[in-house]
Structure 1
Amino acid sequence: MNTYKTAEIAHSIGIHPNTVRLYEELGLIPKPKRKANGYRVFTDFHVEQLKFVRTALKVEVLQNGLRKQAIDIIKTSSARNFDRANILTERYLQQIKREQRNAQEAIAITEKLLSGENQEPSNAILTRKETADLLQISMDALRNWEMNGLLTVKRKQNGYRVYTDEDIRRLKIIRSLRCANYSLAAILRMLNALSSDPKADIREVIDTPEENEDIISVCDKLLTSLQYAEKNARVMLVHLEEMKKQFTTNPTL
């Protein structure tokens, strides 16, 4: 049986020793045995479990409980319950695929709304409450979208906001994309691009953050992140099978 010190196992994985200790504290790897002097003693199973953790957390997908699912898979694998971890990973993979479909459907809805297909102008002027009720969203969501620059609303002389057909169409686009977990920054980037070039490729623009954007999250490049998450989930399934073969027959490793 191979054994490793904290620094050795951290070096083999390419992470800081404090990260190893953090994973232990969070229950992502099993607690190692200790020598009389208190030094941790890691095994080959810890090496493989750490690799598994790194794969599972490589892309931080947060929507609809995906992050929690990934953590549950890791902890189940850490307990050497490989069959259960495999089942959870299959469910995780299916959820990722659903999120991908949602993201693609939101783009399709956006394209349809932008084309004006099956939309009849009504020339209606709605209040904020009427608009929120029509779109079945909260007034706080409307305020938030306006504060983040996604929409500029006209006002009456008395200062009250009024929403036109064009505003409603824009809000439907925002709502659809937000329901699919695109970030506000990504949506704003797309809307600005379309204002400059109505023929811009929506999928490319919404998934490609600009270099001057200060903070980039996975929701700012949602399509790519979900693709990577799917790829990593498939790697996790293979890794679980390999660990099952190695560590079920050799439980001391």
Structure 2
Amino acid sequence: MKTYKTAEVASIIGIHPNTVRLYEELHLIPRPKRQPNGYRIFTDFHIEQLRLARIAFQIEVLQNGLRRKIIQMIKVSADRDFDTALALSHEYILQVRQERANAEEAIEIVKRLLSGGNEAGSRCLKRKEVSEYLHVSMDTLRNWEMNGLLTVKRRQNGYRVYTDQDISRLKIIRSLRCANYSLEAIRNMLQQVCANPDIDIKEALDTPKEDADIITVCDKLITSLAAAEENACQIVGMLHDMKDRFS
């Protein structure tokens, strides 16, 4: 059986030796045996397990327990419980597909809301009334305003007044947030809609600004979910191979 030192493993995978040790501490790979001098002894199984983990973490989707599920899959694979790892991978794929369907559905809701124009009437609601009407907490409404998703007018006494146009915009924000779109992606899309009502909503939501300092998974949600599903399907194939080789 071929064995490897920590530096050799790191070179093969393309990571820092400290990352190898970190994966060991987190139980993402089996604890390696040690030589009398204390040096770790890694095997081909460690190599494949590290490759599996790297692919799993390439696209980290955080919402609704998906990250916990993929971490659990890696850990049971490290214990050579490949059947459980495969079952978790299939569950992960199904959930990612559902998240993607939710994201697509939210886009259709936004399209309908935008095509319908502003709601009829001339309501002027206070924040508490809007919170109860939309079933959204007042803290959430404050957060959306603080992050620039909408600007609410104030009366002379300083109280915010939400109009029908504001409520339509809030329904759009609520639908997209429920589907786990980031605040940055929503703000970017709303700004583009104001400039051009005929934009492709899906593309606008999935295209971060070029000057963004940090681009998260939720800033490219549909693309990220598609990539996560593709990686998970690759993981299933790897697990079958590992089961054949290392069981």
Q: Which TM class, normalised by the smaller chain length? A: over 0.9
- Equivalent position of 1:244 in the other structure: 243
Q: 2:207 touches 2:220 (CA, 8 Å); kept in 1?
A: yes
TM-superposition CA deviations, 1:89-140 (whole Å, max 9, x none): 10000000010001000100000000117x7512111100000100001000
- Equivalent position of 2:21 in the other structure: 21
**Alignment-mate amino acid for residue 103 of structure 1:** A
What does 1:1-253 align with in structure 2 at a 5 Å threshold?
1-116=1-116, 120-248=119-247
Aligned residues: 247
Secondary structure of the corresponding residue to residue 41 of structure 2: strand
Equivalent-residue separation in structure 1 for 2:212 and 2:12 (angstroms): 34
**Alignment-mate amino acid for residue 208 of structure 1:** T
TM-superposition CA deviations, 1:14-39 (whole Å, max 9, x none): 11111100000000000000000000
Equivalent-residue separation in structure 2 for 1:231 and 1:122 (angstroms): 47
Secondary structure of the corresponding residue to residue 42 of structure 2: strand
| Displacement of 1:227 | 0.4
CA RMSD of aligned residues (A): 0.9
Equivalent-residue separation in structure 2 for 1:200 and 1:161 (angstroms): 30
Equivalent-residue separation in structure 1 for 2:229 and 2:174 (angstroms): 25
Equivalent-residue separation in structure 2 for 1:153 and 1:120 (angstroms): 16
Equivalent-residue separation in structure 2 for 1:190 and 1:196 (angstroms): 10
**Alignment-mate amino acid for residue 78 of structure 2:** S
Equivalent-residue separation in structure 2 for 1:213 and 1:237 (angstroms): 34
Q: 2:119 touches 2:165 (CA, 8 Å); kept in 1?
A: no
TM-score by length of 2: 0.99
Q: 2:35 touches 2:41 (CA, 8 Å); kept in 1?
A: yes
Q: 2:119 touches 2:164 (CA, 8 Å); kept in 1?
A: no
TM-score by length of 1: 0.96
Runs of 4+ in 1 over 4 A off after TM superposition: none
Q: Which runs of 5+ in 1 are unaligned?
A: 249-253
Equivalent-residue separation in structure 2 for 1:116 and 1:126 (angstroms): 21
| Displacement of 1:210 | 1.3
What's the % identity of the aligned pairs? 62
Equivalent-residue separation in structure 2 for 1:24 and 1:202 (angstroms): 43
| Displacement of 1:211 | 1.3
**Alignment-mate amino acid for residue 18 of structure 2:** N
Q: Report which stretch shifted further, 120-129 or 3-12.
A: 120-129
Secondary structure of the corresponding residue to residue 236 of structure 1: helix
Equivalent-residue separation in structure 2 for 1:59 and 1:24 (angstroms): 21
